């Protein structure tokens, strides 16, 4: 992927997750945009996409951040939104343990209140430790917390798996977190 493609991939992420209004785009309630409308409106803001380029971005994205509808006419981000949309994911049973990557400097606060979704729509959890290390490293010295997802689920707390494999839940109370 060229640098230019990376930039256009990041801009697509910005529009679909956080700021559709930046190019005058409206997403539907489940976060979908019309591909042709996105191309036209992004183009009017100096960002030049083609359908082929969008298909490539979707296919090659390292975290599979985007999804095209089956008919190829619409696109949405798989997760990570700050805007209020409903991904309409079905709750499913999680594995016994999931991992959350954070930074050591957040430890004191997380011990008090547990994991909160902050600016996003969910708390993001990973199936494997390595991914959690990477997620945590974005914020500073990584700290990997073990979340007792199975126990939470047994108490009726809902879990979802986004189309790119990221696990999502509303919040994780301190009693469900195991510290390293
Ligand atoms: C922390 C990336 C203090 C939380 C990744 C995290 C992921 C608290 C930060 C996705 C806290 C929020 C999401 C509390 C939570 N006190 N800090 N009580 N509760 N936090 O970026 O999980 O590249 O919104 O630990 O791969 O880091 O965007 O969430 O450190 O999948 O596709 O508050 O974003 O994917 O940070 O990352 P974020 P995240 P993309």
Per-residue pLDDT reduced to its tens digit, 141-156:
999 999 999 999 999 9
- Domain shared by 64 and 130, yes or no: no
The pTM of this model reads: 0.92
Domain assignment present for 91? no
Element (H, E) at 56: helix 51-60
Residue whose CA lies nearest to ligand 1 atom number 12: 118
Q: Counting Cβ atoms within 10 Å, is residue 47 exposed (0-12), middle (13-18) or buried (19+)?
A: middle
**Mean local confidence (pLDDT), 42-50:** 97
- Cα distance between residue 151 and residue 39, in whole Å: 45
Residue 23: band (very low, low, confident or very high) from pLDDT cuts 50, 70, 90: very high
Domain assignment present for 88? no
- Cα distance between residue 118 and residue 141, in whole Å: 19
- Cα distance between residue 68 and residue 35, in whole Å: 9
Measured from the CB, is residue 86 less than 6 Å from ligand 1? no
Residue whose CA lies nearest to ligand 1 atom number 23: 63
Residue 1: band (very low, low, confident or very high) from pLDDT cuts 50, 70, 90: confident
How high is the pLDDT of residue 48?
Answer: 97
Domain assignment present for 134? yes
Cα of 102 vs centre of ligand 1, distance in Å, is 7
Residue whose CA lies nearest to ligand 1 atom number 6: 102
Measured from the CB, is residue 102 less than 6 Å from ligand 1? yes
- Counting the structural domains of the chain, the total is 2
Measured from the CB, is residue 18 less than 6 Å from ligand 1? no
Residue whose CA lies nearest to ligand 1 atom number 29: 124
Question: Could you tell me the residue range of the domain that residue 105 belongs to?
Answer: 98-178
């Amino acid at each position: 992927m060229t640098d230019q493609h990376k930039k256009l991939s990041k801009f697509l992420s910005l529009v679909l997750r956080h700021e559709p209004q930046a190019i005058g785009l409206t997403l539907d309630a489940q976060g979908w945009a019309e591909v042709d409308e996105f191309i036209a409106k992004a183009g009017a803001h100096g960002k030049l996409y083609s359908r082929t380029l969008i298909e490539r971005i979707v296919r090659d994205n390292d975290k599979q951040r985007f999804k095209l509808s089956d008919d190829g006419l619409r696109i949405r981000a798989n997760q990570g939104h700050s805007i209020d949309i409903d991904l309409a994911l079905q709750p499913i049973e999680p594995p016994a343990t999931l991992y959350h990557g954070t930074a050591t400097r957040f430890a004191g606060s997380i011990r008090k209140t547990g994991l909160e979704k902050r600016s996003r729509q969910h708390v993001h959890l990973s199936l494997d430790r390595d991914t959690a290390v990477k997620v945590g490293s974005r914020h500073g010295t990584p700290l990997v917390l073990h979340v007792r997802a199975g126990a939470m689920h047994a108490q009726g707390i809902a879990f979802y798996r986004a189309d790119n494999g990221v696990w999502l839940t509303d919040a994780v109370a301190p009693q469900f977190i195991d510290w390293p």
